[in-house]
Structure 1
Amino acid sequence: MHICHVNLASGFSGGERQTLTLIKQQLAMGYQLTVVANPTSPFADEIRALEQCQLVLCKHYTRSHQRSITADCDVVHVHEGRAIYWALLQRLIHGVPYIVTRRIDNPLKRKWLSQLAYTRASTLVGLSSEIVRQITRRHPQANVATIPSSPVQYPVSDADVDAIKAQFANKFLVIQAANMYAHKGFDVTIGAAKVLEKHAPQIHICLLGDGKARAELEKQAQGLGNISFMGKQSAMGNWFAAADLLVHPSYSEGLGSVILEAMAAGLPVVGTNAGGIPDIIKDDISGRLIEVGNPDQLASAIADIANDEALRERLIAGSLEQARACDIRQTALTYQTLYRQVLASQA
């Protein structure tokens, strides 16, 4: 089977990592792959390093529409917002079917081009039940499937893990890892740190990330001794191995790939009852769920997990089971079934 993956993002975040993980698995399964990527993105460098993929560099969705790019491809697989327009044009010009994986739980746009692009897709995939709900609200007649993300596996350096543990020696280390946008709930974590500072001095929180909200968040955390801003991290495997708990108190979230990554690394997790997070965190089974925007609940959940070893072990067992259910091998097989259905419908 020959699949053309399209991701035109300029950055390299969770969506690009998940796309790369699927591509690597499909190569292991013997697929032929073409990848259309933004030349300014680290994603393009990652694809170039794989060698087995045919890489097509594309700065804008209106460019790179030669017939030769998808002449031998069975299906185009879209992974990012602007890429859907590239797939639409390739469909209109050369007749190649495409599917769309949507990763955010925002309402779909009403703009005519967006609606046309979603209407012409053979199948729309949502990472979570909330994303699927948003898709079907705008496109009730569409063929829609739910396929969650798969956790990305990161390398671990024992020396670097030891260094992190030494830096926060004798602390129960809590991490939150995300780009510092308002909807990621870093303010809730800072609020929880204020609650915990006096009553749980053994707990320390590290915020891993950067972004336009950081300066304001640092002001909110001013004077707190139990929270550290560590900046954007490129070696998350070391932090997962060194930490005791991951929190992710987002106000909205498509699914929460970092939650799955922490689960696969054997961490207990706390997340909000928002977006797709409840799809992967079953309260008191594979983690703890709290209400959106509630620092007191977050502080209580952190303290409970820090102080109860039996609870930690039970949540870790549940999180590992959830991570296994989202293993990339199963995800790739699910997509394979979807590709075959698209091909059958074109026959």
Structure 2
Amino acid sequence: MPLKPSTPTSGSGTPPHVVHLETGRFVYGGARQVLYLTEHLPALGVRSTLVCAKGGEMAGRARAAGTEVIELATLGDADVSIVWRFAALLRRLKPDLVHIHSRRGADVWGALGAKLVGAPAVMTRRNDTREAQLALWLKYPLYRHIVAIAEGVKDVLVSQGIPGSDITVVHSAIDPAHFQHPRSRAELAATFDVDPTQPILGIAAQLIERKGHALLFESLQMLASRHPTAQLIVFGRGPLSESLPPLAALHGLQHRVRFAGFRADLELWMGALDVLVHPAYTEGLGNVCLQAAAARVPCIGSRVGGIPEAIADGITGLLVPVGDAAALAAAIDRLLSDAPLRERLGAGGPAYVDSDFTPPAMAAGNRAVYRRVLGR
């Protein structure tokens, strides 16, 4: 299923103008990546305009960083009127390229809007889940090129018929500096009611089934005799916020698990943990694993999606088979029982993040895609 072929334009003396569409209202996940990208593209000779949801957090953050912003009212993922309203904006802006970052509707509506005005479009794909065949037929032919945030994401697309030559992997980014000055162990203990003299694990993810919280509880129950004082801080919010505490109690963990909710200041606490655990069942990349690496904290993650790219096995952390509670328990036991190993894996983190996961590197990768599509 080849994508629409590229028709590079001849070069000109003016910087290419790229319009970015991101309809997420809050700045986390993919939306944060868009802010990194639009902030760093000007240094690479690209003018950016961000079209984002009206009244959301994105607009203010992008403007504060100096990005040109246009707010677009949306009624949700199924708002088909985005097609015509976005097209009207594009007719006025006359961009060289449209970069769609959203999904669940806007990835189709935005591409159709670009098609109506004849503007070439590229899309960033951030998740490793398979799509319905109808979505593949309708959506991907609208794009000149696809940016996948991990090889694992690209593999899924190729397995569904998208040619590998139409996909470029550009890893997502974190800002390492945010994670290199953590609060003290004593402050962590006082804030989250844990014992600083005993092992402290963390999981930082949306409270949804695919992130593997239940699997982690099962693994910790298996370790009750070997590590009876190991504690877990659960960072995040989501639809399982009410069901996970009783599930932890069902596994005998009610006195060892703390539910911290969403923390905008997670970077202050990550570096005070002993181990971060990310037992997800599916994952585009797993930026939280990179955040742990930047904070010099070893991470245990599932060998699925892009996680094997976010965790360098044996260098920044350990990988385990997806959905395997016994293997996860063994990895946790290995790290909690071996302080020198924890120290070595933590020490390997910052250099690994710097190698390919910083905002400038991510912006450069996207700039190369624009050059490929536009010829300049």
Q: Identify whether the pair has TM-score above 0.5, normalized to the shorter chain.
A: yes
How many angstroms apart in 1 are the aligned matches of 2:284 and 2:87? 30
Q: Deviations over 1:2-29 (max 9, x none)?
A: 2211111234431111221222222454
What's the offset of the Cα at 1:161? 6.7
Are 2:20 and 2:51, in contact at CA under 8 Å, matched by a contact in 1? yes
Q: Which residue of 1 aligns with 2:120?
A: 97
User: Does the CA-based 8 Å contact 1:161-1:238 persist in structure 2?
Assistant: no
Contact in 1 for aligned 2:276/2:298 (Cα 8 Å): yes
Question: Match of 1:210, SS?
Answer: coil
2:175 is equivalent to residue 148 of structure 1: no
- In structure 2, give the amino acid aligned to 1:195: M
Whole-Å Cα distance in 2 between the matches of residues 115 and 38 of structure 1? 27
1:85 equivalent in alignment to 2:112: no
- CA 1:238–1:173: 2 relative to 1, 3 Å: same
Deviation of the 1:271 alpha carbon: 0.1
What is the match of residue 87 of structure 2?
A: 65
Question: Is the alpha carbon distance of 1:290 and 1:70 closer, same or farther for their aligned partners in structure 2, counting shifts above 3 Å?
Answer: farther
1:7 pairs with 2:22: yes
Aligned counterpart, 1:332: 363
- Taking the aligned partners of 1:337 and 1:55, their CA distance within structure 2 comes to 25
Change (3 A) 1:68 1:120: closer
Counterpart of 1:289 (choices 313, 319, 338) is: 319
In the alignment, is the contact (CA less than 8 A) between 1:17 and 1:152 conserved in 2? no
Identity %: 28
Q: Does 1:275 align with 2:305?
A: yes
Q: Does 1:264 align with 2:319?
A: no
- Counterpart of 1:164? 188
Matched, 1:236 2:266: yes
Q: Would the aligned equivalents of 2:39 and 2:66 in 1 still touch at CA under 8 Å?
A: no
Query: Are the counterparts in 1 of residues 304 and 322 from structure 2 also a CA contact under 8 Å?
Result: yes
Alpha-carbon distance, 1:330 to partner: 1.6
Q: Which has the higher contact order (CA 8 A, sep 6+)?
A: 2
Q: Which residue of 2 is the match for residue 182 of structure 1?
A: 209
Q: CA contact under 8 A between 2:17 and 2:96: conserved in structure 1?
A: yes
Q: Measure the CA separation in 2 of the matches of 1:261 and 1:70.
A: 40
Structure 2 matches for 1:190-209, cutoff 5 A? 190-209=217-236
Aligned to 1:44: 59
Matched residue count: 344
Query: CA offsets per residue over residues 74-94 of structure 1, 9 Å max, x none?
Result: 221111213322432232222
Q: Does 1:124 align with 2:151?
A: no
Q: Distance in 2 between matches of 1:80 and 1:161?
A: 38
CA drift of 1:138 comes to 3.2
Normalised by the size of structure 1, how large is the TM-score?
0.90
Match of 1:5, SS state, is strand
C-alpha separation in 2, matches of 1:269 and 1:293? 16
Which residue identity is paired with 2:347?
Answer: A
Q: 1:275 to 1:155 in 2, by over 3 A?
A: closer
Segments of 5+ residues of structure 1 without an aligned counterpart are none
**Deviation string for 1:32-78 (max 9, x for gaps)?**
21001112432223223334323332414333322556634222111
The answer to whether residue 337 in structure 2 is matched with residue 320 in structure 1 is no
2 CA distance for matches of 1:293 and 1:199? Answer: 21
Whether the 8 Å CA contact 1:155–1:235 is kept in 2: the answer is: no
Say which of 135, 152, 171 aligns to 2:157. 135
> Does the aligned pair in 1 maintain the 2:55–2:71 contact within 8 Å?
no
In 1, Cα distance between equivalents of 2:259 and 2:90 = 48
Residue ranges of structure 2 left out of the alignment (5+ in a row)? 1-15
Is 1:247 aligned with 2:277? yes
What secondary structure sits across from 1:99 in the alignment? strand
* 2:11 corresponds to: none
CA gap 1:200/1:68 in 2 versus in 1, 3 angstroms: closer
Counterpart Cα distance in 1 of 2:343 and 2:180? 22
* Distance of aligned partners of 1:333 and 1:158 in 2 relative to their CA distance in 1, 3 Å threshold: closer
Aligned 8 A contact 2:182 2:269 in 1? no
Whether the aligned pair in 1 keeps the contact of 2:179 and 2:294 (CA below 8 Å) is no
Distance (Å, rounded) in 2 between the aligned partners of 1:14 and 1:52: 19
Higher mean Cα deviation, 181-190 or 156-165?
A: 156-165
Deviation at 1:157, TM superposition (A): 7.6
Output the TM-score relative to the length of structure 2: 0.83
Change (3 A) 1:51 1:202: same
1:34 alignment partner AA: T
